[in-house]
Amino acid sequence: MHSGAARRPPVAQPVRVTSRQPPPDLGAIRGILGAARAAGRSALMEPEGRAILSACGIAVPAVVYAARAADVDDALLASLPGAAVIVKVVSSKLAHKTEAGAVAVAAREPAAVRAVISAMHERLGELAEGFSIAELVAHDRDPGGELLLALRWTDDMGPVAAVGLGGIYAEPLSGDLRPGREIAVASGSAVLAAGLARSGGLGEHLVRATGVRLAATPLRSRAARVPLAAVSDAVRRLLALAPLVPDDLIELEINPLAITGDGRLVALDVLINLGTGHSPSGRRDPFASSAGSWRRAPSASWASRPATTPATPSCATCWRTGSAPTASPSSSPAQRRWTACGVCPTSPRSRAR
């Protein structure tokens, strides 16, 4: 941990998303990614990930940071709303903090937060490079109350955004859903715009995914948790980062994207894996010959995964068909059907289908 008197970082306030949110400063975001890459890291830490989401206009909770337990006092916690907070370890070496015991809920009182930080420091040692203390965002954790929103590269469609069920239910429930309903995919490639326009637009397209339908449509006597337009807007904001994929970042995954009681979307956790800083050999815009480069603003250009499961083996990440399965002969039929294509990067949280 840090020695000497630590300077207290400024308080990070939640982003209030508006329809007039300016486009993100890709140069500044590229600088954050480049600095992490220069430090020898393959993924961003939490403060850097929050900064990128904020630049995109995706809301994040209010948060403060402490280098050690002794830094926590009433003044530090005064800016955080509510009676409880979420304490997380800030680390360049821990991608999945929950499994490591690096996430805890505490009362918004200095003594309680200091006790949690001290316990984490004792358990994790030098893995704990600092601590974030964030507001506890009240939301429904049942299916439909949390979404997963991700951006990654695929060789078939270039950079794509995917949205589906989020939270702890993402993996077990998505594996049980009818093929074509577990996730919806949007691409920034202009050549695909016309087909989606004929199918009714982005919102109607996204709602085919069960998670989006549970979140954004009324169910019996219950109103929709969030406007479908807000989910579409979040996808568009994430696809504004498409020019950075795959050179600067390979994958960005928000999980969960929580839906608050007043219908706002708030990103509670984000994982960002870095690219190499230059175009990997053999990767190109799959539609360059017919539509020009995909490095453009994804204004109304979208595509989706087919509504039916392809008969040939297909990649669990990009749904590329016709590739040889990498699953072993002893794998289940679902695992053999949905497998890595061997070309695109697979998600560290990829789901067996």
Higher pLDDT, 349 or 228: 228
Which pLDDT belongs to residue 8? Answer: 44
130 and 177 share a domain?
A: no
Residue 174: pLDDT band (50, 70, 90) is low
**CATH code, domain with 222:** 3.30.470
123 and 155 share a domain?
A: no
Span 273-305, pLDDT tens digits: 999 887 655 555 544 433 333 333 333 333 333
Question: Does residue 352 sit within a domain?
Answer: no
Which pLDDT belongs to residue 23? Answer: 84
Say if residue 171's pLDDT is above 90.
no
**Total domains, the chain:** 2
Q: Could you tell me what percent of the chain has a pLDDT over 70?
A: 65
Span 113-129, pLDDT tens digits: 999 999 999 999 999 99
Most trustworthy range by pLDDT among 1-15, 58-72, 167-181, 270-284? 58-72
Nearest alpha-carbon partner for 268 in 107, 82, 136, 79? 136
35 and 101 share a domain?
A: yes
| Residue finishing a domain among 106, 135, 164 | 135
153 and 299 share a domain?
A: yes
117 and 243 share a domain?
A: no
| C-beta atoms surrounding 23 within 10 Å | 11
Say if residue 345's pLDDT is above 50.
no
64 and 97 share a domain?
A: yes
Domain of 131?
26-135
| Residue finishing a domain among 95, 115, 135 | 135
**CATH code, domain with 98:** 3.30.1490.20
Which pLDDT belongs to residue 132? Answer: 97
Range 303-323 average pLDDT: 34
| Residue finishing a domain among 103, 135, 167 | 135
Nearest alpha-carbon partner for 133 in 208, 81, 190? 81
Say if residue 13's pLDDT is above 50.
no
Say if residue 229's pLDDT is above 60.
yes
192 and 281 share a domain?
A: yes
Higher pLDDT, 192 or 134: 134
CB neighbour list of residue 53: distance below 8 Å, 6 or more residues apart: 15, 59, 60, 254, 267, 270
Question: Does residue 112 sit within a domain?
Answer: yes
Question: Does residue 299 sit within a domain?
Answer: yes
